[in-house]
Structure 1
Amino acid sequence: MRALRILLILVVVFGGLFVAADRAAVYFAEGQVADRIRSSQGLSSEPQVSIKGFPFLTQVVGSSLDEVDISLGGVNATADGHQVAVTEVRAELRDVTFDSSFSQATASRAAGSARISYADLAKSAPKGASVGYAGADRAAKGQVKLSGRLADVLEGAGIDMPSTVRALLDGQTVTAYSTVSLEGGDTVRLRAETLPELPVPGLNDQVRDVVDYDLKIDGLPSTIKLDKVTASESGLQFSGSGTDVSLAG
């Protein structure tokens, strides 16, 4: 009975040591992976890496990790020199296999997501205009609302207006509902579906040139593949998924 008790104590002690060693190895590996991702992909900040699954050490021996989650506090998007914050940037990697040198890895499945709030999106809007929620029906079609005083929008675009034209436009507003799409995984494209008839001939084309613009997302890790954008009440939500995603070392 005494021998059995000693054996059980040893099992508990060594089991605890193994768990402690396993967790320490995970913590070290997460830091190394985060540093590798930041340096290899030129990120401005170090991502947060969480390696799931237990035990970790046996996963390493098998050269395969069940789940790796990567998140960034945010990256920037740019439109005509204006910077816009892209937040809640995440990647969820599943069944990650790697080579013996840990220099290359492949995720059999990957899902990515990101978000731009309307407050941040408004910073990319043409001068004199604002961008906001278009309502449930239009949001379901992937549309946002862009509006502003017409004279301010034209002036913000650098369009010269004689005083007589400005007087004619005084008090006039322009509202456009722009469909948002995602091109190439890193470019947000806003295109107005229709524009209201304006009181001065030729202004419609000029206004369209202003309200149709692209927003380039910079600094996304290659692990985050975005191919879909939806408009919600709080902003633009981006998502994407892929298979056999190669992770550069």
Structure 2
Amino acid sequence: MTAPTRRTAPKRRPSRGRKWIIALLVLVALLVGADFALAAAGEYQVAQKMRAKLGLAEDPSVRINGFPFITQALGGDYKDIEISATGVPVRDQLRDLEIQANLLHTRIELSNLLAGNTKGAKIDRVQGRVKIKANDLNRLVNQVTPFTDMAIEPDTRAEVTEEQAAAAPRTSAAVKLSGNTTLAGRKISLTAYGTVTLIGGQVELAANELKIDDLSLEQFIPQLKQALSIKIDPGVLPFTVTPTAVQVESGAFTVEGTVDNIPLDEGNG
């Protein structure tokens, strides 16, 4: 007796609804890819412009925030263009500045942006920042006393309420410094507490309290405090923004400021 032949079930064809979904997903992927490509082209043109404008040796990093890009482009209003560059020198004093700027509501037609033509472009607000890092601080204080492994941190010993932080003048901030030096032929570790103050566009560092791990060398503390009390000129902020505030973060002092209603071609460069 022969076994009955088993029928193979016919393969199901994709339904019309499923085809539409696949086609829609493909279309969305193409539109997203085109959007990112268009944004990249705009970012490239901004980077070229900012390199010349800020006097940089290399193109800065540029990111046009917000998705989709095309809706901003069609309106000619780019909500937040983020620019950053590292390793920027200022004269012979600083060699590793980090420059940042956020251009809020840059108004320029897409055709002009892609052509690199920024004439007539306006920015509602520019937020500019310059970071002075620990290795530059180490280099500056080394000119007085040989320090190594300098570290910058906020001084968090005193608790500050939100109301006090809001009311406090942002032209001054508490700082904690730590590092190593050599005194009387001995290598010592030190911790200093003080303030960084923004005065006339310069950062003034004052060491008010200093501790060392070798108490037999305490007579050198006034000398060390003086060596750590220096002035730092961070140079001109992006778009010649006037610095109005200074803050301390892990590894750096940050000087910042804002300027409103400025032509894109105005300022540095």
Fold shared, TM-score > 0.5 on shorter chain: yes
CA RMSD after TM alignment: 4.8
Q: 1:122 to 1:58 in 2, by over 3 A?
A: same
Paired residues, what number? 221
Query: Which of structures 1 and 2 has the larger relative contact order (alpha carbons within 8 angstroms, sep 6+)?
Result: 1
2:54 maps to a residue whose letter is: Q
Of 11, 16, 40, the match for 2:53: 40
Q: Is the 8 A contact 1:75 1:218 kept in 2?
A: no
Task: Give the TM-score taking structure 2 as reference length.
Answer: 0.59
1:181 corresponds to which residue?
A: 197
Shift of 1:19: 2.9
Q: Could you tell me the percent identity over the aligned residues? A: 27
Shift of 1:39: 1.3
Q: 1:42 to 1:219 in 2, by over 3 A?
A: farther
* Pair 1:95 & 2:96 matched: no
Of 73, 96, 118, the match for 1:85: 96
Of 87, 93, 98, the match for 1:74: 87
Q: 1:145 to 1:15 in 2, by over 3 A?
A: closer
Shift of 1:244: 3.1
* Pair 1:244 & 2:257 matched: no
Task: Give the TM-score taking structure 1 as reference length.
Answer: 0.62
* Pair 1:117 & 2:133 matched: yes
Cα deviation digits, residues 10-57 of structure 1 (max 9, x gap): 655554443332221111111111011101221122111111223323
Q: 1:120 to 1:211 in 2, by over 3 A?
A: closer
Q: Is the 8 A contact 2:129 2:237 kept in 1?
A: no
Q: Is the 8 A contact 1:90 1:113 kept in 2?
A: yes
Q: Give 3-state SS (helix, strand or coil) of 2:35's partner.
A: helix
Provide the C-alpha distance between the structure 1 equivalents of 2:90 and 2:66, rounded to a whole number of angstroms.
34
Higher Cα radius of gyration: 2
Q: Give 3-state SS (helix, strand or coil) of 1:222's partner.
A: helix
Provide the C-alpha distance between the structure 1 equivalents of 2:227 and 2:62, rounded to a whole number of angstroms.
40
2:247 corresponds to which residue?
A: 230
Q: Is the 8 A contact 2:118 2:265 kept in 1?
A: no
1:19 corresponds to which residue?
A: 32
1:128-139 matched pairs, under 5 angstroms: 128=145, 130=147, 135-137=155-157
2:76 corresponds to which residue?
A: 63
